[in-house]
Amino acid sequence: MANAHQDSISKYLEISQKIADPSVLAELMALFERRYTIAELLDWTHQRLKFDKGNIERHNDPMEILAYGRGRCGEFSILFASLCLAHWYRARLILDMSDHVWTEVWDEPQKRWIHVDPSEKRMNDPFMYERDWKKNLTEIYAFENGTMENVTKSYKIAKA
């Protein structure tokens, strides 16, 4: 199990660097005529990407994800985080080591990270996984431009 965790961590460290590449961001921004809001980017993602639980090709490159048009939580999160970065928002990928990926976007005025689950199209609901999905979250990591931070406590409901 430790090797699988390390492989996932290595994979998302690499992806987080790739999606921050200025050439990738310029290619994505060229798809837009103006800077979109976070909510508009979430809608834009859902207009172009279909959630598919079937036997699909998996992609880590935002342009390949767009071209393929289908994906799961990983593809939705990679594409959405990339779009946020292309629109000058600070964003990072969040990996729940059990089986899910989502995004956080930095809220500059509030000086805090905002939870965004692009595949579920939900914002600012970090406890949805324990509350609604009944998940037992144990390890959750944030990946931003080749760095990693343990953010598990941000997603755990405090026990009284």
Q: Which amino acid is at 10?
A: S
Note if 46 is an active site residue. Answer: no
Look at residue 158 in the predicted model and tell me its pLDDT. 76
Catalytic residue among 59, 87, 100, 115: 100
Look at residue 160 in the predicted model and tell me its pLDDT. 61
How far apart CA 12 and CA 130 sit, in angstroms, is 23
1, pLDDT greater than 60: no
Q: If you average pLDDT over residues 70-86, what whole number do you get? A: 98
Q: If you average pLDDT over residues 40-65, what whole number do you get? A: 96
Nearest CA among 123, 127, 129 for reference residue 103? 123
What stretch of H or E contains 92? strand 91-96
Residue with tokens 């931070």: 149
How far apart CA 88 and CA 67 sit, in angstroms, is 23
Catalytic residue among 59, 73, 84, 96: 73
Q: How confident is the model at residue 128 (pLDDT cuts 50, 70, 90)?
A: very high
Note if 73 is an active site residue. Answer: yes
Note if 125 is an active site residue. Answer: no
Residue with tokens 């939580």: 73
Q: Which amino acid is at 110?
A: Q
Domains and CATH numbers, the chain: 2-155 (3.10.620.30)
Angle subtended by helix axes 38-48 and 73-86, to nearest 10: 130
